[in-house]
């Protein structure tokens, strides 16, 4: 019962923290110039989060799970087993990233073909794609937290929680700042933010209550958490590189000013600085 209470509390903190982080651009009184800077900073956060936090965590999860699996196999022929599995994992990493990227590409094409952006240029369509991509990633975060909670190791659960919050808060900020710059009205932005904020807590609770210890062990043996994180990183990269950066670049005249470029780089480096030292 205690672990259930801990998970519920962590889910509430995750929901409130994400929503408040995303609400910062909405409550700040900003001129058009300041809004552009905030949007550029948010774009940097999204790119930095994907490259410096999510992908390393996914890879770390894959190799940690594989190392644990090899220890359980035993020492007989262990070196050969590790070499073979590590070779396989390199292919899994690339495939997971590409599949996540391709999924968002297909969703984007369907979005265009159904006329979401018809008559209104790209206003709104990029925001919808960005929200979908980040919600997919948040849902995977929730599954990871819920799976960690099924173990008796509270320290593991807390590490997963901290890792999630370190990139969930900047992602929420980045999403909202991009949606504001995409011309979406504030009421709809709050709806997008609420969906994003709810995804991880809901999936964490669903995973925890629907999966038993046997199911958790099965997921671990399949490296499912690491694969899912890398898959979601592919969706994250699509959102950041295909929508956020190109659209911001076009709106500032094709080239970032020195100040905007500095803010973009700062935003990209910040997730790396925040995550330094939290990998265990």
Under the banding of pLDDT at 50, 70 and 90, the label for residue 118 is: very low
- State residue 146's pLDDT score: 77
C-alpha span between 53 and 7 (Å, rounded): 23
With a CB cutoff of 8 Å and minimum separation 6, the contacts of 57 are: 163, 229, 279
Q: How many domains does the chain have?
A: 1
- State residue 157's pLDDT score: 63
- State residue 191's pLDDT score: 92
Between 210 and 278, residue with greater pLDDT: 210
C-alpha span between 58 and 236 (Å, rounded): 13
210-231: string of b/e by CB count within 10 Å (b at 16+)? ebeeeebeebbeebbbbbbbbb
Q: Is residue 36 part of a domain?
A: yes
Q: Is residue 27 part of a domain?
A: yes
Whose tokens are 């409130």? That residue is 16
pLDDT digits over 230-239, tens only?
887 787 788 7
Q: Is residue 256 part of a domain?
A: yes
With a CB cutoff of 8 Å and minimum separation 6, the contacts of 137 are: 54, 171, 232, 233, 235, 236
Domain, as residue range, for 59: 2-275
pLDDT digits over 33-90, tens only?
777 787 788 778 878 877 887 788 778 877 776 665 565 555 555 444 444 465 577 8
- Decide if pLDDT at 19 tops 90: yes
Least confident interval from 18-32, 63-77, 97-111, 138-152: 63-77
- State residue 117's pLDDT score: 43
Q: Is residue 97 part of a domain?
A: yes
What is the residue-averaged pLDDT of the chain? 75
Least confident interval from 55-69, 92-106, 214-228: 214-228
Q: Is residue 270 part of a domain?
A: yes
Copy the structure tokens of residue 43. Answer: 């774009």
Whose tokens are 């173990």? That residue is 151
Least confident interval from 10-14, 143-147, 273-277: 273-277
Cα separation values, 215 from 51, 207, 220, 222, 224, Å: 30, 10, 9, 11, 11
What is this structure's pTM?
0.65
pLDDT digits over 154-211, tens only?
655 666 677 677 667 778 888 888 888 777 888 999 999 999 999 989 988 888 887 6
Q: Is residue 280 part of a domain?
A: no
Under the banding of pLDDT at 50, 70 and 90, the label for residue 5 is: confident
**Which of the 8 DSSP states describes residue 149?**
H
Across residues 2-30, what is the average pLDDT?
Answer: 86
**Which of the 8 DSSP states describes residue 223?**
T
- State residue 226's pLDDT score: 72
């Amino acid at each position: 019962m205690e672990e259930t209470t801990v998970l519920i509390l962590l889910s509430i903190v995750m929901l409130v923290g994400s929503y408040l982080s995303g609400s910062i651009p909405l409550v700040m009184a900003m001129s058009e110039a300041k809004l552009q800077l905030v949007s550029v900073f948010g774009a940097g956060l999204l790119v930095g989060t994907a490259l410096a936090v999510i992908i390393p965590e996914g890879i770390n999860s894959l190799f940690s799970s594989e190392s644990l699996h090899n220890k359980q196999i035993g020492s007989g022929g262990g070196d050969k087993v590790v070499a073979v599995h590590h070779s396989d994992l390199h292919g899994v990493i690339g495939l997971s990233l590409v599949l996540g990227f391709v999924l968002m590409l297909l969703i984007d094409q369907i979005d265009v073909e159904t006329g979401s952006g018809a008559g209104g240029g790209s206003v709104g369509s990029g925001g919808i794609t960005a929200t979908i991509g980040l919600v997919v990633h948040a849902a995977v975060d929730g599954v990871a937290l819920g799976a960690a909670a099924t173990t008796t190791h509270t320290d593991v659960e807390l590490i997963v929680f901290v890792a999630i919050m370190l990139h969930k808060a900047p992602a929420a900020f980045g999403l909202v700042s991009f949606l504001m710059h995409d011309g979406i009205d504030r009421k709809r932005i709050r709806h997008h933010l609420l969906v994003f904020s709810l995804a991880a807590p809901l999936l964490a609770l669903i995973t925890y209550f629907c999966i038993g210890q046997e199911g958790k062990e099965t997921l671990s043996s399949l490296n499912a958490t690491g694969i899912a994180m890398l898959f979601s990183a592919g969706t994250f990269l699509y959102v950041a590189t295909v929508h956020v950066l190109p659209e911001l670049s076009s709106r500032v005249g094709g080239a970032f000013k020195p100040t905007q470029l500095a803010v973009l780089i700062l935003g990209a480096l910040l997730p790396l600085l925040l995550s330094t030292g939290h990998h265990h």
